[in-house]
Amino acid sequence: MARISKGEGWSALALDGQIDEHNRLSELDSLLSDASRLYVDLGAIRRINSIGVRDWVVWLTAARQRFAEVILTDCPPAIMHEVNLVKNFAAGARIATFRVPYYCEACGKESMSLLKSSDLLAQGIKEPPSDRCERVECRNDLDDDGTFYFAFLDEQAGMSPTAAPAGEAERVRDHLAQASQQPLSGESEDAHARHSRVVQPLKPEVTRGSVGTPQSVQSSSPPTAKPSGVDLVFVLALVAMLAVLGVLIYLIVTLE
């Protein structure tokens, strides 16, 4: 599923679910209108696997040739890991906003901050800014390796400034939020079922929307109850065993 929108000078796309072997990235190209800038909102991506990474890199390389600027927004931790791990995962693309997971060891609070790369670069920050917790004694730390997580900023720092007018990213986000879901051709029922089974593992403190870390994604289908027939057989076997035991005790007592 994808949401697509466009405006003056830009074309935009919001992806959700998983980028895996069932991805339909190549089908998106014909749906996008030509523009100077392509915005790709990745906020609802929950997981990406190695085949997804391979297809994404191919797709992004083609998008970089078609659009003067490709701007990735709302990149969740699953995406940021690939950005920092896979050399050309975001090659030439601008990472405008990204999410940073925090965890407080004192109270167990998990939270997610949405950060703007341009703000961090302007302030010369290359490590996670502290995120306050409600209680004074608390310490809210990045739930990840900070140096690794923020390594991408080095490459972002070397990029030429964006040609996007001020406030465009916010307008794009609003447009995408209003755009209706566009099912891609051939997307199977299975794919929908798989998406809807994924639970949102984050606490309510999440800034906007919610995206899970892969390890906390789990099936929400409840454990199926045992058929009552199995229980009945078990009870009957237990009764039979008790009866045999009773007879044995009776025999022992009466034989003495």
Residues of this chain that interact with Zn ion (CB under 5 A) are 104, 106-107, 109, 133, 138
As measured in angstroms, the least distance from the Cβ of 88 to Zn ion is 38
| Least Cβ distance, residue 29 to Zn ion (angstroms) | 45
Provide the minimum distance between the beta carbon of 12 and Zn ion in the complex, in angstroms, as a whole number.
Answer: 36
Q: Of the two residues 107 and 163, which places its CB atom closer to Zn ion in the complex?
A: 107
Sheet arrangement for strand 37-48 = 2-7, 10-19, 37-48, 69-73, 94-95
Q: Give the DSSP H or E segment for 69.
A: strand 69-73
Half-sphere exposure (CA, 13 Å, Cβ side) for 172? 26
Which one, 8 or 137, has the nearer CB to Zn ion?
137
Comparison of 111 and 213: residue with beta carbon closer to Zn ion: 111
| Residue 121 phi, psi dihedral angles, 5° rounding | -65, -40
Minimum CB distance to Zn ion smaller for 109 or for 171: 109
Percentages of the chain per state (helix, strand, coil), in multiples of 5: 40, 20, 40
Residues 66, 88: contact at Cβ < 8 Å?
Answer: no
Which residue of the chain is nearest Zn ion when measured via CB? 138
Q: Decide: 97 and 169 in contact? Cβ < 8 Å.
A: yes
Q: 63 vs 133, which CB is nearer to Zn ion?
A: 133
Closest CA to 99 of 248, 215, 208, 245: 208
Residue 144 C-beta: closest distance to Zn ion, Å: 17
Per the document, the length of the chain is 256
> Shortest approach of Zn ion to residue 105 CB, angstroms?
8
